Amino acid sequence: MATAHGTISQVCLDYLNLDDFASISQGQLDQDNGTQQGDKSYCLLDYAALNWAVHYISQDSKRAKDSWRAAQNLCNILLPQQSYWFEIYCDSVDVRSDWTSLGIASLLGLTYVAESFLDEGADINAQGGECGNALQTASERGRDEVVQMLLDKGADVNAQGGMYGNALQAASERGHDQVVQMLLDKGADVNAQGGMYGNALQAASLTDHDQVVQMLLDKGADVNAQGGRYGNALQAASSRGHDQVVQMLLDKGADVNAQGGRFGNALQAASSRGHDQVVRTLLDKGADVNAQGGMDGNALQAASLTDHDQVVRMLLDEGADINTQGGMYGNALQAASSRGHDQVVQMLLDKGADVNAQGGRFGNALQAASEEGHDQVVQMLLDKGADVNAQGRRCGNALQAASSRGHDQVVQMVLDKGADVIAQRGRYGNALQAASSRGNDQVVQMLLDKGADVNAQGGRRGNALQAASSRGDEEVVQMLLDEGADVNAQGGRYGNALQAASERGHDKVVRMLLNHNAVVNRKGI
């Protein structure tokens, strides 16, 4: 096989080093399926660009050294041969293209070529590429021979930069235990901060590389170090359900209630993803079931939002406060209602959730379910005594919320339960304007039939006619005019309906309004 790799490598090297490519810009090359440029075929280009290095490092070392100059030319950013093939490579493997020559050789695992750049004066710690420097690049790819060579040549093992912050974090995230050991032996700071994961332990914990986790812990990694997107190693491992790593961290003294990161704490992280075994482990270790923080406020709300009913049950059994406030959705019931998770909603209601609790993104659970059109959940909430006219946030009340989205079945349900059709509040002012703003003609008719005031003022568009006119909805405009809408009513963003239609270029609506005696020279507010 080594002989075959050597032959293919030589063909690719000869091909990519052709003078033809040196004189052709990247934009002239059609990379799709090796199509032709003029009468010259480049059908081998994609394959050669993506695979030449694989064949090069798979051949015997003597043959590789014999062709090192051709390989070096392809890595040398100062030569035209380098740019076109590397762009193809970068597009394929989704990496940036702002690299040093040494970085490219390290990325590809070309030890002898990388060493040749150093012999010619390349800066071993130069910054470039998404991994920051050659050592981090080689470490991230698990190129242990290149890593060893760079370390022997004096690469700074603790150099900062790049997406991982340092070489140790890069190798740890990818689980390259041999490289991790090499870096540690060379004095890599096991607790160095930086990069998207904060430190090497968090990176290895997130990606479930338990052997690397153990190596780092044995070298004195701070199990409670803060930083990175997950805040700490325990939260990182918990978010992915890595129960073995979670146990290792806890055994080493990880603070089960440490705050920080996107989930706030480890319990919320595990609950959000439905990792019931990790949730159980954390609870047994004393995790605070009611701890606040993170994007979902608390563990119960996180599990409710993501429909993990088994975790919800576990948390409730452990004493989770069912009505605790916090997070984007205010409480667990509103979170579950907004997503239509009827089984979780029922569980929460059975456990005593306050059906009329206020707060959060939607104001209350009924408004959340109504806006999203979850009719089954709406019925469950109404059956439990939800206040159909409770005032909330974005859309004022459940009727306006459902009307704004055209959920006619929900509109009918809340009307049947006594929803106030003329209630004022919210971004649209009232339900009729909400439906008119979105062109929901069926809902508009339902509201009018229930006695909605066609001239009610309020909201962003002032009244329903202006809302429909600004949208250019001829059918709704006609319905409102037929119901006696005041064509010259003033207020709202555009001042009046005629001005709204004119400003938005809705010629047909303009004519309709003029035919109904709209005053042309009347100024809007």
State pLDDT tens for residues 242-278.
999 999 999 999 999 999 999 999 999 999 999 999 9
Q: How far is Cα 422 from Cα 435, in angstroms, rounded to an integer?
A: 13
Q: Please state the rounded mean pLDDT for residues 494-518.
A: 93
Q: What is the pLDDT of residues 330-387, one digit of tens each?
A: 999 999 999 999 999 999 999 999 999 999 999 999 999 999 999 999 999 999 999 9
Looking at residue 41, what is its pLDDT?
Answer: 64
Give domain status of residue 79, yes or no.
no
Q: Please state the rounded mean pLDDT for residues 119-143.
A: 95
Which ranges in 45-166 belong to alpha helices (H)? 45-58, 61-66, 68-75, 80-93, 101-108, 111-119, 134-141, 144-152
**Per-residue pLDDT for 32 more than 50?**
no
**Per-residue pLDDT for 39 more than 50?**
no
Looking at residue 234, what is its pLDDT?
Answer: 98
**Per-residue pLDDT for 1 more than 80?**
yes
Question: What one-character DSSP code corresponds to residue 34?
Answer: G
- Return the sign of the alpha-carbon dihedral for residues 386, 387, 388, 390: negative
Looking at residue 250, what is its pLDDT?
Answer: 99
Q: Please check whether residue 348 is in contact with residue 322, taking contact to mean a CB–CB distance below 8 angstroms.
A: yes
Give domain status of residue 444, yes or no.
yes
Global pTM reads 0.88
Looking at residue 524, what is its pLDDT?
Answer: 47
Looking at residue 493, what is its pLDDT?
Answer: 84
Q: What is the pLDDT of residues 439-472, one digit of tens each?
A: 889 999 999 999 999 999 988 888 999 999 999 9
Give domain status of residue 477, yes or no.
yes
Give domain status of residue 302, yes or no.
no
* Strand, helix or coil for residue 297: coil
Give domain status of residue 429, yes or no.
yes
Confidence class of residue 35 from pLDDT cuts 50, 70 and 90? very low
**Per-residue pLDDT for 37 more than 80?**
no
Range of the domain at 461: 421-524
Mean of the per-residue pLDDT values of the chain: 92
**Per-residue pLDDT for 51 more than 80?**
yes
Q: How far is Cα 182 from Cα 147, in angstroms, rounded to an integer?
A: 8
Q: What is the pLDDT of residues 391-441, one digit of tens each?
A: 877 788 999 999 999 999 999 999 999 999 999 887 888 999 999 998 889
Q: Please check whether residue 443 is in contact with residue 472, taking contact to mean a CB–CB distance below 8 angstroms.
A: no
Q: What angle do CA 166, 168, 171 make, to 5 degrees?
A: 110
List beta partners, residue 37.
40
Give domain status of residue 206, yes or no.
no
Residue 248 has a CB neighbour count (10 Å cut-off) of 20
Q: What is the pLDDT of residues 154-198, one digit of tens each?
A: 999 999 999 999 999 999 999 999 999 999 999 999 999 999 999
Q: How far is Cα 253 from Cα 56, in angstroms, rounded to an integer?
A: 47
Looking at residue 394, what is its pLDDT?
Answer: 78
Q: How far is Cα 20 from Cα 36, in angstroms, rounded to an integer?
A: 13
**Per-residue pLDDT for 521 more than 80?**
no
Residue 522 has a CB neighbour count (10 Å cut-off) of 12
Looking at residue 93, what is its pLDDT?
Answer: 64
- 479: CATH: 1.25.40.20
Q: Please check whether residue 518 is in contact with residue 497, taking contact to mean a CB–CB distance below 8 angstroms.
A: yes
Looking at residue 62, what is its pLDDT?
Answer: 80
Looking at residue 213, what is its pLDDT?
Answer: 99
CA dihedral 466, 471, 472, 478 (to 10 degrees): -50
Q: How many domains does the chain have?
A: 1
Give domain status of residue 52, yes or no.
no
Q: Please check whether residue 447 is in contact with residue 403, taking contact to mean a CB–CB distance below 8 angstroms.
A: yes
Give domain status of residue 486, yes or no.
yes
**Per-residue pLDDT for 34 more than 50?**
no
